[in-house]
């Protein structure tokens, strides 16, 4: 009986792990990042994105949903930096052609291509703006927001992405899903307005370098907490869809970990929002600031415009 319970627990943890790696930042986080990034934009680009804010929000998680459909999808969401030595962001060349010469394309493909993929989407988005291809521009924008969001998650830069190498399996989902889902409504996510990025590829590397510098805190602070936190209070059972019982990390545990992290999750999310807006804005500027609104026949109902303006005001005041 005991053996069966252990097997089931392991199977359960494996299942939870699979779910976690599938949905980085959680649905809530990705939706929020893409949605609020719209308000960082200057007009007239903002009014274009506002007309499609629900599309940009809803499709923020498409890249995670595609992971099951394409074997090439997964590697776009991360980079396992440790593979490239003790100072990976110094030793790994920034350009794909140089990096693939030094480490072989197969190696790069195996350990994650997040910064280069963001860069290729920037080229595609710029071209879509140039060609006034509205639907393509919107779907690339939604994807781009997702991958930039992922780059802000410290564990997306590490081969120990779910604490599986240090006995901390589940930490990925705890950091990027459970904490924002519990505390996100109280976050102040205002981080200023979008600005032009002179070198988007360099900016992606900068974001990843910063995330990488935070992954040791993410891991070590949880270890520190485990020393004192009562283990029987770590998980709670919940019933899903009225039938399935699942075990999740308790709110008490998530809150305790969050307070040790000292606002890191909120800070990273805020940063991701303004970066996503800045990347979209940069693609539009690089396309020559096309008058894209003139080609877009979408018209928002006055009550929708009013709701968006209220939402923007709440974001501006940090609510």
* Rg (alpha carbons) of the chain, rounded to whole number: 20
Nearest distance from C-beta of residue 73 to Zn ion, angstroms: 9
CA distance 179 to 186: 11
Nearer to Zn ion, 77 or 270 (CB): 77
As measured in angstroms, the least distance from the Cβ of 27 to Zn ion is 11
DSSP string, 68-89: TT-TTTGGGG---GGGG-SSHH
Whether 129 contacts 144, CB under 8 Å: no
Q: How far is the CB of 147 from Zn ion (least distance, A)?
A: 7
Least distance CB 273 / Zn ion (angstroms): 16
Beta strands in the chain (DSSP E): 235-240, 244-249
Q: How many CB atoms lie within 10 A of CB 238?
A: 10
Question: DSSP assignment, residue 160?
Answer: S
- Least separation in angstroms between residue 133's CB and Zn ion is 24
Quote the CA–CA distance of 7 and 2 in Å, as a whole number.
9
Question: Nearer to Zn ion by C-beta: 27 or 55?
Answer: 27
Nearest CB to Zn ion, comparing residues 46 and 77: 77
Name which of 78, 48, 86 is nearest 158 in CA terms.
78
CB of 178 to Zn ion, least distance (A): 16
Region near Zn ion per CB under 5 A, out of 69-77, 123-131, 254-262, 281-289: 69-77
Q: What mask of x and - would describe binding to Zn ion in positions 206 to 245, judged by CB under 5 A?
A: ----------------------------------------
| Least distance CB 71 / Zn ion (angstroms) | 15
Nearest CB to Zn ion, comparing residues 150 and 214: 150
Could you say which residues in the range 141-180 bind Zn ion, by CB under 5 A?
150
Q: What is the largest CA-CA distance in the chain?
A: 68
CB 88 within 8 A of CB 81: yes
Interface with Zn ion (CB under 5 A), residue total 4
Minimal distance, residue 29 CB to Zn ion, in Å: 10
Stretch that binds Zn ion, among 21-29, 179-187, 228-236, 298-306 (CB under 5 A): 21-29
Q: Which of 46, 51, 77, 152 binds Zn ion (CB under 5 A)?
A: 77
Residues 39-68 that bind Zn ion (CB under 5 A): 64
**Interacting span for Zn ion (CB under 5 A) from 10-18, 24-32, 87-95, 229-237:** 24-32
> Which stretch in 43-51, 77-85, 130-138, 180-188 sits in contact with Zn ion by CB under 5 A?
77-85
Looking at 123-272, which runs of residues are DSSP E strands?
235-240, 244-249
Residues 6+ apart with CB under 8 A from 293: 44, 47, 48
> Which listed residue (16, 20, 21, 24) binds Zn ion by CB under 5 A?
24
| Helix, strand, coil percent content, the chain, rounded in steps of 5 | 70, 5, 25
The residues, ordered by sequence, that sit 6+ positions from 195 with a Cβ below 8 Å of its Cβ are 278, 281
Residue ranges in contact with Zn ion by CB under 5 A = 24, 64, 77, 150
């Amino acid at each position: 009986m005991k053996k069966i319970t252990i097997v089931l627990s392991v199977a359960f943890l494996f299942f939870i792990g699979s779910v976690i790696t599938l949905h980085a930042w959680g649905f809530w986080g990705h939706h929020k990042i893409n949605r609020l990034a719209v308000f960082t934009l200057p007009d007239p680009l903002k009014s274009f994105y506002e007309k499609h804010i629900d599309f940009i929000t809803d499709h923020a998680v498409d890249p995670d949903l595609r992971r099951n459909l394409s074997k090439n999808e997964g590697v776009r969401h991360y980079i396992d930096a440790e593979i490239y030595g003790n100072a990976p962001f110094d030793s790994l060349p920034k350009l794909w052609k140089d990096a693939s010469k030094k480490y072989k394309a197969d190696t790069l493909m195996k350990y994650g291509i997040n910064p280069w993929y963001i860069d290729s989407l920037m080229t595609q988005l710029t071209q879509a703006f140039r060609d006034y291809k509205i639907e393509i521009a919107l779907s690339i924008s939604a994807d781009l927001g997702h991958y930039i969001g992922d780059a802000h998650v410290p564990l997306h830069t590490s081969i120990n992405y779910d604490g599986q190498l240090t006995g901390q399996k589940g930490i990925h989902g705890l950091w990027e899903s459970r904490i924002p889902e519990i505390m996100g409504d109280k976050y102040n996510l205002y981080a200023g307005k979008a600005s032009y990025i002179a070198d988007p590829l360099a900016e992606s590397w900068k974001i990843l370098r910063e995330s990488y510098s935070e992954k040791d805190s993410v891991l070590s602070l949880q270890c520190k907490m485990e020393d004192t936190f009562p283990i029987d209070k770590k998980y709670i059972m919940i019933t899903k869809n009225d039938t399935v019982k699942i075990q999740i990390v308790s709110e008490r545990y998530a809150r305790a970990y969050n307070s040790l992290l000292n606002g890191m999750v909120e800070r990273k999310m805020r940063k991701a929002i303004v970066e996503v807006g800045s990347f979209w804005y940069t693609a539009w500027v690089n396309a020559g600031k096309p008058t894209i609104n003139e080609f877009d026949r979408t018209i928002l109902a006055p009550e929708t415009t009013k709701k968006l303006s209220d939402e923007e005001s709440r974001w501006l005041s940090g609510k």
